[in-house]
Amino acid sequence: MKSTRHLETLAIHAGRVGDPSFGSLSTPIHQTSTYVFDNVAQGASRFAGESEGFIYSRLGNPTVRELEQRVAALEGAEDGIAFASGMGAVAAVIFGHLQQGDHLITSKALYGCTFALFTEDLARFGIEVSFLPEVNANTVAAELRPNTRMIYLETPINPTLEVIELAPIMALAKQHDVLSVVDNTFMTPVLQRPIELGADLVLHSATKYLNGHGDVIAGIVCGSAEAVTNLRGGPLKTMGAALGPMDAWLIIRGLKTLPVRVERHQSNTEHVAQWLRQHSQVGNIYWPGFKEHPGHSLIGTQMAGPGALIAFELNGGYDAAVAMMNAVKLCRLAVSLGDAETLIQHPASMTHATYSPEELAEAGISPGLIRLSVGLEHHEDIVADLAQALAQAQQETLAARPSAA
Ligand SMILES: Cc1ncc(COP(=O)(O)O)c(C=O)c1O
């Protein structure tokens, strides 16, 4: 699917399956579970993988196929495969590639359900996991074992926004014949293309920016044609987390504006982050766009920009954070990210509630950490809402304080 076309063009045209029957501009929603064969020989040859053509929509569907081919083109990958959720994609990659006795290396901070899969489920299947507090080529090299089969990374990490330098780790993985997987949900292919940095597989919660409108749950994995074929014949077929055509169609529609949306998400974030940083109630603030952020130097090489997620703490700690999140009016108190609406949430009790208090502390997720996904509203309106929520939080914190008298 490699192309020299620009990303904005690929987001609209790449991988088109289209409508050979009537020529409709918009891709038809092939709302069908099964496909009629001309004869038994044709059906049998499709099952045997000897001829092209659809069989049954768990294994493939024309509308879903267009989505897969388009995201693969955006990621610079040979092929892609869609799943019913981001976690469906993560689970397919893990169970499609690892077996009892294998070893996986990842970071301590990760999306909460990925962490739960790695801690709870992989232990049951006899797969060892090393969770590194700091991930770089040296710490990964020190953790490699003869049975290491996979390195699985998020960058920037959800929700701490730590940035991992991918290229040296991907090179190390290749050297040691270890599969490298990058969750690119936070960046999207507009800002970061891990395959070009040497990753074997890149995956997304397509629920987020790829769709962008908060109305679909979906996942996608991109990589070599061989890896994708193996996932289709393996975990998609037998574990069955297949994406429906209507949801695929909604993401195809969302993708057309992905580059434009990401640009605006990011420029809004620049305003919001700078405003938050100077606010007297705001303590630590994490956004790779700040010069002091340790990952900032990778902007321009690994990443085309810092993205549109901000994490921050208030000087008033947990109570102030709760009061602020309860007080937003325009911004919505909701998990997920990458939607038109600005979303605010509390990782410790929500997206990362799968971590114990000790695990949260080790992963650098403080009890008062707030995660903000900056949306597409006007940045002045987002700031005005955050300002009133902070003022409300201040009032409540003062009112709750025992009086000095
Ligand atoms: C970084 C990341 N990866 C994977 C997932 C899982 O995706 P889904 O919710 O679509 O299953 C999420 C969900 O928030 C996420 O933030």
How many whole angstroms from 48 Cα to the centroid of ligand 1?
34
Indicate whether 213 and 282 sit together in one domain.
no
Residue 58: CB atoms within 10 Å: 16
Indicate whether 233 and 296 sit together in one domain.
no
In a domain, 2, yes or no: no
Task: Return the residue whose CA atom lies nearest to atom 2 of ligand 1.
Answer: 111
Element (H, E) at 90: helix 86-97
The CATH number of residue 140's host domain is: 3.40.640.10
In a domain, 371, yes or no: yes
In a domain, 1, yes or no: no
Indicate whether 102 and 188 sit together in one domain.
yes
Indicate whether 19 and 117 sit together in one domain.
yes
By three-state DSSP, how is residue 203 classified? strand
In a domain, 404, yes or no: no
The structure tokens 């900032």 sit at 296
Task: Return the residue whose CA atom lies nearest to atom 14 of ligand 1.
Answer: 336
In a domain, 214, yes or no: yes
Q: Is the CB of 111 under 6 A from ligand 1?
A: yes
Residue 18: per-residue pLDDT? 85
Indicate whether 167 and 282 sit together in one domain.
no
Q: Which of 71, 83, 87 to mutate to test the pocket of ligand 1 (most atoms within 8 A of CB)?
A: 87
Indicate whether 136 and 232 sit together in one domain.
yes
Domain boundary among the residues 225, 255, 285 is at: 255
Indicate whether 237 and 312 sit together in one domain.
no
* Residue 115 reports pLDDT greater than 70: yes
Q: Is the CB of 185 under 6 A from ligand 1?
A: yes
| Phi–psi pair at 182, nearest 5 degrees | -125, 130
Beta bridge partners of 314: 282
Number of domains in the chain: 2
Residue 128: per-residue pLDDT? 98
In a domain, 101, yes or no: yes
Residue 402: per-residue pLDDT? 74
The CATH number of residue 393's host domain is: 3.90.1150.10
Q: How does pLDDT run across 1-41, given as a tens digit for each residue? A: 444 689 999 999 999 998 888 999 999 999 999 999 999 99
Q: Which of 208, 209, 221, 373 to mutate to test the pocket of ligand 1 (most atoms within 8 A of CB)?
A: 208
Q: Given 70, 108, 152, 183, which residue is catalytic?
A: 183
d(Cα 234, Cα 93) in Å, to the nearest integer? 10
Task: Return the residue whose CA atom lies nearest to atom 10 of ligand 1.
Answer: 86
How many whole angstroms from 278 Cα to the centroid of ligand 1?
31
Q: Is the CB of 211 under 6 A from ligand 1?
A: no
Catalytic residue flag (residue 208): yes
Domain boundary among the residues 209, 239, 255 is at: 255
Indicate whether 37 and 109 sit together in one domain.
yes
Confidence (pTM): 0.97
Beta bridge partners of 69: none
How many whole angstroms from 172 Cα to the centroid of ligand 1?
26
Residue 403: per-residue pLDDT? 65
How many whole angstroms from 194 Cα to the centroid of ligand 1?
17
In a domain, 232, yes or no: yes
Burial (0-12, 13-18, 19+ Cβ within 10 Å), 69: middle
Residue 2: per-residue pLDDT? 47
Copy the structure tokens of residue 283: 């303590």
Catalytic residue flag (residue 339): no
Q: How does pLDDT run across 30-71, given as a tens digit for each residue? A: 999 999 999 999 999 999 999 999 999 999 999 999 999 999
CA 95 to chain centre: 19
* Residue 391 reports pLDDT greater than 50: yes
d(Cα 44, Cα 51) in Å, to the nearest integer? 9
Indicate whether 179 and 266 sit together in one domain.
no
Q: How does pLDDT run across 227-285, given as a tens digit for each residue? A: 999 999 999 999 999 999 999 999 999 999 999 999 999 999 999 999 999 999 999 99
Q: How does pLDDT run across 333-370, given as a tens digit for each residue? A: 999 999 999 999 999 999 999 999 999 999 999 999 99
Task: Return the residue whose CA atom lies nearest to atom 9 of ligand 1.
Answer: 86
Which percentage of the chain shows pLDDT scores above 90?
96
Residue 405: per-residue pLDDT? 47
Q: How does pLDDT run across 154-203, given as a tens digit for each residue? A: 999 999 999 999 999 999 999 999 999 999 999 999 999 999 999 999 99
Element (H, E) at 237: helix 237-239
Indicate whether 210 and 338 sit together in one domain.
no
For 42, the domain range is 7-255
Indicate whether 232 and 313 sit together in one domain.
no
* Residue 137 reports pLDDT greater than 50: yes
In a domain, 403, yes or no: no
Indicate whether 114 and 13 sit together in one domain.
yes
Domain boundary among the residues 235, 255, 275 is at: 255
